[in-house]
């Protein structure tokens, strides 16, 4: 049984010009201890998928359909109070900007202790001792002295380490990391990713790593889901998605990554841009930009299907009875 299973998730935002579907019929699963990378351009729906799983979508946005199962139990329909015990305790979260994720008015020690005491029922003393240990674990120098410091007294990188400690301190089974390095200096990004990877391996925590940085994914993830315009375009083991993408969009995306090890004539780019949620084309959302488009792509929307490789892709090229060279 997978740790997390998302089935046909659909997230809608009603606006005055109609309902926007930010996440449309998305299904995937994450096994225990596994790292699933979720990539896509901004607006592809990857962050919203993560937020929807922990049910923190800002109203008027709402989950309009589908199911979310954690260890076989549905969590998309349980009472808010029950959901609260899932958040933090079973699913941790890391947000993008460490400068705004920490409450400026409370010391980091207090924020850590508060989280642990909420979920683990520790005494003040134990919570403090553990908080110091967590700060040491995430590499805050002089943890015992700095536990009473306030967020503004730390650098961005250090704050993200504190955020990681906060996300992991109640020992959740899964962490949803939403662009955890995007707001950081490039020089610190690798350190933070390495830290996250190490801690999750040590604690056996699965990770849903949302990012638009293919480099981070290639380095960290076991499997990858590629999202485009609110849907999953392709999903599969990281090697196969990077090296042998089947969906034309993924192919284009991978072709745009510079490589140090292989000589590539020139980087490719995908013409055009992702459609806005207000005017997603009929059929496959990618069809106006696709180099291999054919009639069916403009009429019918493809679901994820088996391909001739190890990945699954939402592309009519792989439908049974469809000639591969139809384009």
- Listed in sequence order, the DSSP H helices in 43-155 are 46-53, 80-86, 98-101, 108-120, 124-137, 143-146
* CA atoms within a 13 Å half-sphere pointing along the CA-CB vector of 247: 32
**Beta strand pairing status for 206-210 and 174-178?**
parallel
Question: How many residues does the structure list for the chain?
Answer: 327
Q: How many residues bind another protein (CB under 8 A)?
A: 33
3 state DSSP class of 215: helix
- For another protein, the binding residues in 49-108 under the rule CB under 8 A are 54, 56, 58, 84-89, 92-93, 95, 97, 100-107
Angle at 156 between CA 155 and CA 158, to 5 degrees: 65
Does the protein bind another protein through residue 47 (CB under 8 A)? no
Spatial separation of the C-alpha atoms in residues 129 and 145, rounded to whole Å = 12
Question: Which listed residue (32, 41, 114, 126) binds another protein by CB under 8 A?
Answer: 114
* Chain position carrying tokens 């933090």: 88
Within residues 247-306, the interface with another protein by CB under 8 A covers none
Q: Which is nearer to another protein, 95 or 316 (CB)?
A: 95
What is the side-by-side strand order in the sheet with 35-39? 91-94, 174-178, 206-210, 35-39, 223-228, 231-237, 312-313, 305-306
Helix (H, G, I), strand (E, B) or coil at 313: strand
Contacting residue, 7, 126, 150, 219, with another protein by CB under 8 A: 150
Among 21, 47, 115, 311, binds another protein (CB under 8 A): 115
Kindly state the smallest distance separating residue 288's Cβ from another protein, in Å. 14
Question: Which residues contact residue 183 at a Cβ distance below 8 angstroms, ignoring those fewer than 6 apart?
Answer: 96, 97, 98, 99, 156, 160
Quote the least distance from Cβ 109 to another protein, whole Å: 13
The nearer residue to another protein, 131 or 241, going by C-beta atoms, is 131
CB closer to another protein, 115 vs 250: 115
d(CA 108, CA 106): 6
Stretch of 146-154, 186-194, 217-225, 261-269 contacting another protein, by CB under 8 A: 146-154
Q: Applying CB under 8 A, does 119 fall inside the site for another protein?
A: yes
Restricted to residues 188-247, the positions that interact with another protein (CB under 8 A) are: none
Is residue 167 involved in binding another protein (CB under 8 A)? yes
Residue placing its CB nearer to another protein in the complex, 108 or 193:
108
On whether the CB atoms of residues 119 and 111 are closer than 8 A, the answer is no
Among residues 277 and 317, whose Cβ is nearest to another protein?
Answer: 277
Minimum distance, C-beta of residue 273 to another protein, in the bound complex (Å): 14
Q: What are the structure tokens assigned to 203, written together?
A: 């604690």
Residue selected from 1, 16, 260, 273 as contacting another protein according to rule CB under 8 A: 16
Query: Collapsing DSSP states into helix, strand and coil, what is residue 301?
Result: coil
Nearest residue (CB) to another protein, 200 versus 304: 200
Binding site for another protein (CB under 8 A): 16, 54, 56, 58, 84-89, 92-93, 95, 97, 100-107, 114-115, 118-119, 150, 152-153, 163, 166-167, 170
């Amino acid at each position: 049984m997978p740790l997390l299973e998302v089935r046909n998730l659909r997230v809608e935002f009603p606006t005055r010009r109609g309902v926007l579907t930010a996440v449309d019929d998305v299904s995937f699963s994450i096994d225990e201890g596994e790292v699933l990378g979720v990539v896509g351009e901004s607006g592809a729906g990857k962050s919203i998928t993560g937020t929807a799983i922990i049910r923190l979508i800002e109203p008027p946005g709402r989950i309009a359909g589908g199911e979310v199962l954690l260890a076989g139990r549905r969590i998309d329909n349980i009472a808010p109070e029950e959901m609260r015990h899932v958040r933090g305790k079973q699913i941790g979260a890391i947000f993008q900007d460490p400068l705004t994720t920490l409450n400026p008015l409370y010391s980091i020690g207090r924020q850590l202790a508060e989280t642990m005491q909420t979920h683990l029922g520790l005494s003040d003393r134990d919570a403090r001792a553990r908080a110091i240990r967590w700060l040491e674990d995430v590499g805050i120098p002089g943890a015992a002295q700095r536990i009473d410091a306030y967020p503004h007294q730390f650098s961005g990188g250090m704050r993200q380490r504190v955020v990681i400690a906060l996300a992991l301190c109640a020992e959740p089974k899964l962490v949803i990391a939403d662009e955890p390095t995007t707001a950081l200096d490039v020089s610190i990004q690798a350190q933070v990713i390495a830290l996250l990877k190490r801690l999750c391996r040590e604690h056996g925590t699965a990770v849903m790593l949302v990012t638009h940085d293919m480099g981070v994914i290639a380095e960290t993830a076991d499997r990858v889901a590629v999202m485009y315009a609110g849907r999953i375009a392709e999903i599969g083991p990281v090697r196969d998605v990077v090296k042998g993408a089947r969906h034309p969009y993924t192919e284009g995306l991978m072709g745009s990554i510079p490589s140090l090890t292989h000589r590539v004539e020139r980087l490719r780019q995908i013409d055009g841009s992702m459609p806005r949620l207000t005017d997603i084309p009929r059929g496959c959302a990618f069809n106006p930009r696709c180099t291999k488009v054919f009639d069916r792509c403009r009429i019918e929307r493809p679901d994820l299907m088996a391909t001739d490789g190890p990945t699954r892709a939402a592309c009519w090229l792989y439908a049974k009875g469809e000639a591969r060279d139809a384009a």
